[in-house]
Structure 1
Amino acid sequence: MIKLVDMSKFYHTGSVTLAALNKVNLKIKNGEMLAIIGPSGSGKSTLMNMIGCLDVPSEGQYLLDEREVSRLKEDELSEIRNKKIGFIFQSFNLLPKLTALENVELPLIYRGLSAAERRQSAVEALNMVGLSDRMHHKPSELSGGQQQRVAIARALAGNPPIILADEPTGNLDSRSGVEVMEIIKDLNNKGKTIILITHDMEIARQARRIIRIQDGRIVSDEEVA
């Protein structure tokens, strides 16, 4: 599903060039659940941005479903993000004035769905994460764990094959974190490709494969026993 070939990302500050990623090679199969782990500044967030089509590499290739996407225009990348990738962020990124249902519906507007279709998809996604009784509540009326479940529902509503989760339990208490990880693992069991970005080894061990990144390079790639 995903193939990165000699992918590099450079940032230039005056006369200094920083390699956030340095000739990364990676293959991810359809239906995998893997964790990308590394310390702050290791390049894992840059790698997530590349895989999620939020940024493009300076060098190398990115093939998604055998299509080279690293040189596409922004509107083409936006279409790929909208149809193929669901994002879950540590900070939830919910709009405070909208209800849970409205937050989940929002990205579906860009897919050209009718209002009725958007509503049905959003309701189904919220049911999947156990929030059928909270869908008309605003984020301020929900716990942290419930807000993250809304964010997961938003990622699911368009039925993308890939879920990118960036520190999905980072702002949660331990109980809510366990609940969120159970939902994510269940999604993988139902066929979603899950890519976790984390610095937490306990979270990483719940994946089936762990990629370690350091100084912009992949330093290990291990299957979890």
Structure 2
Amino acid sequence: MIEISNMCKVYKMGDTEVKALNDVNIKINAKEFVSIVGPSGSGKSTLMNMIGCLDVPTSGSYILDGKEVSQMKDDELAEIRNCKIGFVFQKFNLLQKLSALENVELPLIYQGLNAKEVRKRAIEALESVGLQDRMHHRPNELSGGQQQRVAIARALVTKPPVILADEPTGALDSKTGLEVMDILRDLHSTGNTIILITHDNSLAMQAKRMIKIHDGEITEDREVI
């Protein structure tokens, strides 16, 4: 599903060059549940941006679902993001003026589906995360956990091959965070590829495989027992 080879990312800050990623090599198969863990400044956010096609590497290769994406232009990357990757963010990133249902419908509208199909699939996605009774509520009428469920439904609705979850429990209390992790595990059990980005080792251990990154380099890649 994902093959990253010799990936480097260099940022220029005035006359100084900062190497955020240094010769990173990762392979992730379809239907895996993988965590990428590292402290602040380790390069995990940069790596997430590369995996999520939010940015492109300075050098190296990135093949996503059979396509080389490392040299794609912005409009091509946008299309890949909308079709291939479902994003779940720490701060939910929901549009406050839209209902839960309307938020989940947005990615399908961008894909150009007809209104009937958009509504049907958005309802199904919200039902899959247990929010069938709250779909007409706006984000400010939902708890943090419910907002994250909406975000997960939005990530799922296009049926992407990869779900990329960036600190998905970071804005939640511990009980609600566990519920969100249960949802991610359920999604994995039904065949979704899940990539969890976190600074929390205990959270990372809930995946099936853990990749550690430090100073822009992969320092450990192992199965979680």
**Deviation per residue, 1:156-206 (Å, 9 max, x gap):** 011111000000000001111111101000000111100000011121111
Which residue number corresponds to residue 215 of structure 2? 215
Q: How does 1:1-225 map to 2 (within 5 A)?
A: 1-225=1-225
Give, in whole Å, the separation in 2 of the partners of 1:189 and 1:57: 32
Ranges in structure 1 where 5+ consecutive residues have no aligned partner = none
What displacement does 1:212 show? 0.4
Give, in whole Å, the separation in 2 of the partners of 1:74 and 1:109: 19
Cα RMSD, aligned residues only:
0.7
Question: What one-letter code is carried by the residue in structure 1 that aligns with 2:193?
Answer: T
Give, in whole Å, the separation in 2 of the partners of 1:21 and 1:58: 9
Question: What one-letter code is carried by the residue in structure 2 that aligns with 1:68?
Answer: E
What displacement does 1:48 show? 0.5
**Deviation per residue, 1:37-66 (Å, 9 max, x gap):** 000010001001001111000000001123
Q: Secondary structure in 1 aligned to 2:135? A: coil
What displacement does 1:155 show? 0.3
The percent of aligned pairs where both chains have the same amino acid is 66
**Deviation per residue, 1:47-88 (Å, 9 max, x gap):** 010011110000000011232111111111111111110000
How many residues get paired?
225
Give, in whole Å, the separation in 1 of the partners of 2:97 and 2:163: 26
Question: What one-letter code is carried by the residue in structure 2 that aligns with 1:224?
Answer: V
TM-score with structure 2 length normalisation?
0.99
**Deviation per residue, 1:86-115 (Å, 9 max, x gap):** 000000001111100001011211111011
Q: Secondary structure in 2 aligned to 1:21? A: strand
Between 127-136 and 111-120, the greater mean CA deviation after superposition: 111-120
Give, in whole Å, the separation in 2 of the partners of 1:29 and 1:85: 15
Give, in whole Å, the separation in 1 of the partners of 2:27 and 2:187: 20
Runs of 4+ in 1 over 3 A off after TM superposition: none
**Deviation per residue, 1:119-172 (Å, 9 max, x gap):** 111100000000000000011110000000000000001111100000000000
Give, in whole Å, the separation in 2 of the partners of 1:201 and 1:130: 28
Question: What one-letter code is carried by the residue in structure 2 that aligns with 1:52?
Answer: G
Question: What one-letter code is carried by the residue in structure 2 that aligns with 1:23?
Answer: D
Give, in whole Å, the separation in 2 of the partners of 1:169 and 1:179: 9
Give, in whole Å, the separation in 2 of the partners of 1:201 and 1:23: 23
Give, in whole Å, the separation in 1 of the partners of 2:96 and 2:75: 27
Q: Secondary structure in 1 aligned to 2:179? A: helix
TM-score with structure 1 length normalisation?
0.99
